[in-house]
Structure 1
Amino acid sequence: MNHTSCNITAYESFPLVQLCVYIPVFLSGSVLNALALWVFCCKLGEWTETRVYMANLALADCSLLLTLPFKILSQFYHLKVDRWCLFLEGAYFVNRLMSISIITVVAADRYLTIKYPLKAKMLRSPLKAALASGFLWVVIIGTIFLIKKVETREQGELCFEKLSTEPSVITLGVVIGGFFIPLIILSFCSIRVIAELVRKKKEKCHEEKLIRKAVHIVSANMAVFILCFLPLHMGHLLRFILDSTSSNCAAIQRVNNFVHLASVLANVNCCLDAVCYYFVNKEFKRASPKLAKSRSEASEAAES
Structure 2
Amino acid sequence: MELNRSFCSFTNQSLPFQTFSLITYIPLFIFGIICNVLALWIFCCKMQRWTVTTLFMVNLIIADILVVLTLPFRLYATVYTWELSSELCKAVLSFYFVNMYMSIFTITAIAFDRYLAIRHTMKYKNLMSPLKAFVICCIFWIIFITVGAFRVLASSDYTLTTCFQKEHTYPFNFSLVFVIVGFILPLLIISFCSGKVLMALRVITQLHSYRQSSVKKAVKIVIANLVCFIVCFLPIHVGYTIRFVAESLKASCYILEKVNEFIHLANFLASLNCVLDSMCYYFAASEVWDVLSKQKFRLLKCKS
**TM-score bracket for the superposition, by shorter chain length:** 0.7 to 0.9
Distance 1:161 1:208, change over 3 A: same
Distance 1:96 1:10, change over 3 A: farther
Instruction: Indicate if the aligned counterparts of 1:97 and 1:140 stay in contact, CA closer than 8 A.
Output: yes
**Partner Cα distance (1:154, 1:126) in 2:** 40
Stretches of structure 1 that go unaligned for 5 or more consecutive residues are 286-304
Distance 1:244 1:250, change over 3 A: same
Residue in structure 2 matching 1:63, options 55, 63, 66: 66
Distance 1:5 1:29, change over 3 A: closer
Q: What's 1:242 paired with?
A: 246
Q: What's 1:150 paired with?
A: 154
CA deviation map 1:246-281 (0-9, x unaligned): 423222211111110110111111111111102443
Instruction: Indicate if the aligned counterparts of 1:235 and 1:258 stay in contact, CA closer than 8 A.
Output: yes
Of 154-163 and 258-267, the range deviating more from structure 2: 154-163
Q: What's 2:172 paired with?
A: 168
**Partner Cα distance (1:85, 1:5) in 2:** 21
Distance 1:156 1:30, change over 3 A: closer
Q: What's 1:98 paired with?
A: 102
**Partner Cα distance (1:5, 1:72) in 2:** 24
Distance 1:10 1:273, change over 3 A: farther
Give the aligned CA root-mean-square deviation in angstroms.
2.0
Shift in Å, 1:9: 3.9
Residue correspondence of structure 1 range 1-304 to structure 2 within 5 A: 2=2, 3-4=5-6, 6-9=8-11, 11-13=13-15, 14-79=17-82, 82-153=86-157, 158-282=162-286
Shift in Å, 1:147: 1.6
Instruction: Indicate if the aligned counterparts of 1:104 and 1:186 stay in contact, CA closer than 8 A.
Output: yes
**Partner Cα distance (2:257, 2:209) in 1:** 55
Stretches of structure 2 that go unaligned for 5 or more consecutive residues are 290-304
Instruction: Indicate if the aligned counterparts of 1:112 and 1:120 stay in contact, CA closer than 8 A.
Output: yes
Of 2-11 and 32-41, the range deviating more from structure 2: 2-11
**Partner Cα distance (1:108, 1:280) in 2:** 18
Of 153-162 and 88-97, the range deviating more from structure 2: 153-162
Amino acid of the residue matched to residue 114 of structure 1? I
Shift in Å, 1:156: 5.9
* Higher normalized contact order (CA 8 Å, seq sep 6+, divided by chain length): 1
**Partner Cα distance (1:148, 1:269) in 2:** 23
Identity of aligned residues (%): 40
Shift in Å, 1:16: 2.4
User: If the length of structure 1 is used for normalisation, what is the TM-score?
Assistant: 0.88
Aligned length: 284
**Partner Cα distance (2:38, 2:251) in 1:** 49
Amino acid of the residue matched to residue 7 of structure 1? S
**Partner Cα distance (1:245, 1:126) in 2:** 48
Of 10-19 and 22-31, the range deviating more from structure 2: 10-19
Instruction: Indicate if the aligned counterparts of 1:98 and 1:137 stay in contact, CA closer than 8 A.
Output: yes
**Partner Cα distance (1:164, 1:61) in 2:** 30
Shift in Å, 1:175: 2.2
